Structure 1
Amino acid sequence: MNRAEPVLSPAPAAAFAPPAERSAVVDLAAVRHNVRRLRGLAAPARLMAVVKADAYGHGAVPVARAVLEAGADALGVAHVGEALELRAAGITAPVLAWLHTVDTDFRAALAQDVEIGVSGWELTPVAEAARALGVTARVHLKIDTGLGRNGATEQQWPRLVAAAAEAEAAGLVRVVGIFTHLAVADDPARPETGEQLARLRAAVDAARAAGLRPALRHAANSPGLLSAAGRERPDEMVLDMVRVGVSLYGLSPFPDRTPEDLDLVPAMTLRTTVNAVKEVPAGQGVSYGLNYVTDRPTTLALVPLGYADGVPRVGTGGPVRINGRTYPEVGRVAMDQIVVDLGAPGLSAPEHGLLGAEAVLFGAGQNPSATEWADAAGTINYEIVTRVSPRVPRLYVDGPGEGGQRPAEHADGEPA
């Protein structure tokens, strides 16, 4: 990767600074590639791009713009506050928010034409907000088909659809969708997914019998969409719309399939530069707790990313690529730094070019993957990218340019 990167605002758009000390480089061309790939699998169904949690750590506003440019039909977020951030940035595409508390500002949401996921109790305050504003709220009713989180249970569903039909008749809401969330779609062989889809079909039938006419049924997440072709009836998974999250960012939701297997491109590269190199003897302890001790003379490289930057403290042996080779992180991850064992003595001399060399924890191509770091930490790749902290600047590029990456946007999302 070319280390010339865009500076943070408010510097002039044409100005460039030396390389950032550490950065999460987000390739918007990769995001758009992934959207086009997923749209092809979903067609003719609509595609909702899930940009909650700051677009899984990639930056909600720049990513939202990129996915819409690539053909996404709508955006999905967890919280109304996330939807309002998109509206404040001038994004006018349909946005659905589905996770609420008693303090959620439904008036602000409806004033900004945010669609609301309703699991039960929310219907009353949403209708009240619509009445106060003189608008009709667009809502998606959620049925809990087995995940056990939000969504009306099968027992609660008849009451919810009856109340929704009453509110719709009064002009306060319009039920535009019915949806559920799949629990085990990342394991396509499990029967529970088919059972959940059957319960969703029954819920839609009940809603229609109550007089509702939802245009959108949606259940498929990333693993649901990516495995739909292997089902006897793919259309029962894809329905009218799919909601994809982790696959937008080029990550595989399956433990046994890589992004390359799925024709996805990882969008985030977490990188910095080596800030110290030193020779140590056999028996040298490394980092807090001294739970790693060198068994031979070797060279250690210090890499200034730690758990305050989002590197999992419990990660053991996570990969770091330096000068075209991948080495293990050793010792306990500290708040601000990790240590890499380069495997041989004598590498601290200037001719080896290690001091100041780029160090990549994960990214695309020959770089280590977020999944490898997830394996090292006993977690999933979703968490690895989402936990990259605000202390790490997001720098946006737009695909390969001559000699590396070409700048796309500053970290605030403004064109560079």
Structure 2
Amino acid sequence: METAPRAEALIDLAALRDNLSALRERAGSAELMSVLKADAYGHGAVPCARAAVAAGVRRLGTATPEEALALRAAGIGRAQADVLCWLWTPGSPWREAVTADVEICVSGMWALPHVLDAVRATGRPARVHLKVDTGLGRNGASAREWHGLVAAARAAEAEGMISVTGVLSHLARADEPGHASIVAQLDAFREAVAVASKAGLRPRSRHIANSAATLTLPESRFDMVRVGLAQYGLSPVPELYSPAELGLRPVMTLRARVAHVKRVSEGHGISYGHTYRTTGETGLALVPLGYADGIPRHASSTGPVQVAGRRRTVAGRVAMDQFVVDLGSDAAEVEVGDPVEVFGAGEHGGPTAEEWARAAGTISYEIVTRIGARVPRRYLDGVG
């Protein structure tokens, strides 16, 4: 018998490369950073990193140092791309990062001694980006700490221990063009950069723009932009623009095969709690994906799927490993093994990750990122 996975996520690397090309045009003179945190938003960090490098991207970004080191271990050296990591804690692999030539984000005075200890232990200088909190209220040095951090970093640079290659921040409401906080944060960022410049720092990259800012706020692009969601073909401003309107194509398609089909009578309860009951004699199709695979339980009875080429809706609660679809009058048209598209590019009537986000009351970032390791990825490179 033919063997096939119960489910798989198809990752279109050609679409990823095309998206990066479209974003490069949008970014103007600013350099592009491909953000690969959270396993490339669920798409697979190493294959996506290689596709980004093949598309000419020379700056890669991760959240955790383990993510950055995994890229280096996969053979993506500095000759291929710089790798920046921005989420550190005491006990992180500082020495390994310095040895692997990972750029380290220093977000507060507490972190700089860890970098310097790693430099002394390895005998290698470190490249660092200094992060300032301009209003997001998350990571980054506060305004009252910034002057001291800049002075300490400049002193370490003068000693040849570090090279400050970047200054960065992050916008809180970039997906709301015109919001007053954006102007305030950009002004605060310019002031922070001026403080660094006055202290004698000459960073190569000043960066604050994420995907939404890259696409809607030209004044935020500075020297580099960090594109995450948009490179995977999803809109960071879905209320304003669809992916197609931004020149983007979704990279991930999640699909499965029907695992079981049966007929039931009117009033039949479906899944845990019987929150859904059939309204007449009907057919049911079982889809072998559940919340353990990343299907949101919050999309119970609302999540859209395409079964055997026709749009349906999840019936009842999403379980750990499976969910049910009420086939209605079309039951005879569906057989075990028929294809199920959970989300993808939205072609031929299929659902999208954004539709799932709305059904679950969340954002498309979470929909793709939560697809678990139990779902194999199959990569399509579009070459040849």
Give the TM-score taking structure 2 as reference length: 0.95
- 1:265 maps to 249
1:325 Cα deviation (Å)?
Answer: 1.1
CA offsets per residue over residues 359-389 of structure 1, 9 Å max, x none?
0100112321011111111111000110001
Corresponding position: 1:251 with 2:239: no
1:294 Cα deviation (Å)?
Answer: 1.2
Contact 1:327 1:340 in 2 (8 A): yes
User: What SS does the corresponding residue of 1:261 show, helix, strand or coil?
Assistant: helix
- 1:35 maps to 20
In 1: Cα distance, 2:93 partner to 2:322 partner: 40
1:343 Cα deviation (Å)?
Answer: 2.4
- 2:339 maps to 358
Contact 1:314 1:377 in 2 (8 A): yes
1:281 Cα deviation (Å)?
Answer: 1.6
- 1:372 maps to 355
Contact 1:283 1:295 in 2 (8 A): yes
Corresponding position: 1:282 with 2:266: yes
- 2:295 maps to 311
Contact 2:213 2:220 in 1 (8 A): yes
> What stretches of structure 1 move > 3 A for 4+ residues in a row?
none
- 1:100 maps to 88
The letter of the residue matching 2:71 is L
In 1: Cα distance, 2:260 partner to 2:235 partner: 34
- 2:208 maps to 219
In 2: Cα distance, 1:337 partner to 1:161 partner: 53
For structure 1, the residue ranges without an aligned partner over 5 or more in a row are 1-16, 229-233, 402-416
User: What SS does the corresponding residue of 1:258 show, helix, strand or coil?
Assistant: coil
- 2:158 maps to 169
User: What SS does the corresponding residue of 1:188 show, helix, strand or coil?
Assistant: coil
User: What SS does the corresponding residue of 2:321 show, helix, strand or coil?
Assistant: coil
1:19 Cα deviation (Å)?
Answer: 2.7
Corresponding position: 1:63 with 2:44: no
In 1: Cα distance, 2:125 partner to 2:212 partner: 34
- 2:98 maps to 110
- 1:231 maps to none
1:341 Cα deviation (Å)?
Answer: 1.2
1:295 Cα deviation (Å)?
Answer: 1.4
In 1: Cα distance, 2:28 partner to 2:236 partner: 20
CA offsets per residue over residues 330-376 of structure 1, 9 Å max, x none?
1000011010111226x24xxx2432111010011232101111111
User: What SS does the corresponding residue of 2:130 show, helix, strand or coil?
Assistant: strand
User: What SS does the corresponding residue of 2:299 show, helix, strand or coil?
Assistant: coil
In 2: Cα distance, 1:103 partner to 1:238 partner: 33
- 1:405 maps to none
In 1: Cα distance, 2:280 partner to 2:383 partner: 41
The letter of the residue matching 2:85 is A
The letter of the residue matching 2:102 is V
The letter of the residue matching 1:373 is W
In 2: Cα distance, 1:207 partner to 1:397 partner: 44
Paired positions, count: 375
User: What SS does the corresponding residue of 2:163 show, helix, strand or coil?
Assistant: strand
In 2: Cα distance, 1:399 partner to 1:149 partner: 39
User: What SS does the corresponding residue of 2:34 show, helix, strand or coil?
Assistant: strand
In 1: Cα distance, 2:381 partner to 2:205 partner: 33
Percent of residue pairs identical: 55
CA offsets per residue over residues 62-82 of structure 1, 9 Å max, x none?
000001111212100001111
User: What SS does the corresponding residue of 1:328 show, helix, strand or coil?
Assistant: strand
For structure 2, the residue ranges without an aligned partner over 5 or more in a row are none
Q: Alignment partner for residue 120 of structure 2, among 122, 127, 131?
A: 131
The letter of the residue matching 1:42 is A
In 2: Cα distance, 1:301 partner to 1:184 partner: 41
- 1:385 maps to 368
In 2: Cα distance, 1:397 partner to 1:255 partner: 26
1:400 Cα deviation (Å)?
Answer: 8.9
Contact 1:274 1:356 in 2 (8 A): yes
Q: Alignment partner for residue 284 of structure 2, among 295, 300, 320?
A: 300
User: What SS does the corresponding residue of 1:272 show, helix, strand or coil?
Assistant: strand
**CA RMSD, 1 decimal:** 1.3
The letter of the residue matching 1:289 is G
Contact 2:258 2:338 in 1 (8 A): yes
In 2: Cα distance, 1:84 partner to 1:363 partner: 30
CA offsets per residue over residues 143-197 of structure 1, 9 Å max, x none?
0001111100111100100100111111111111100011100111211111111
Q: Alignment partner for residue 142 of structure 2, among 149, 153, 156?
A: 153
Corresponding position: 1:327 with 2:312: yes
Contact 1:39 1:71 in 2 (8 A): no
In 2: Cα distance, 1:78 partner to 1:200 partner: 21
In 2: Cα distance, 1:159 partner to 1:60 partner: 36
1:300 Cα deviation (Å)?
Answer: 1.2
Contact 2:261 2:334 in 1 (8 A): no
- 1:77 maps to 62
User: What SS does the corresponding residue of 1:156 show, helix, strand or coil?
Assistant: helix
Contact 2:270 2:316 in 1 (8 A): yes
The letter of the residue matching 2:344 is G
User: What SS does the corresponding residue of 2:143 show, helix, strand or coil?
Assistant: coil
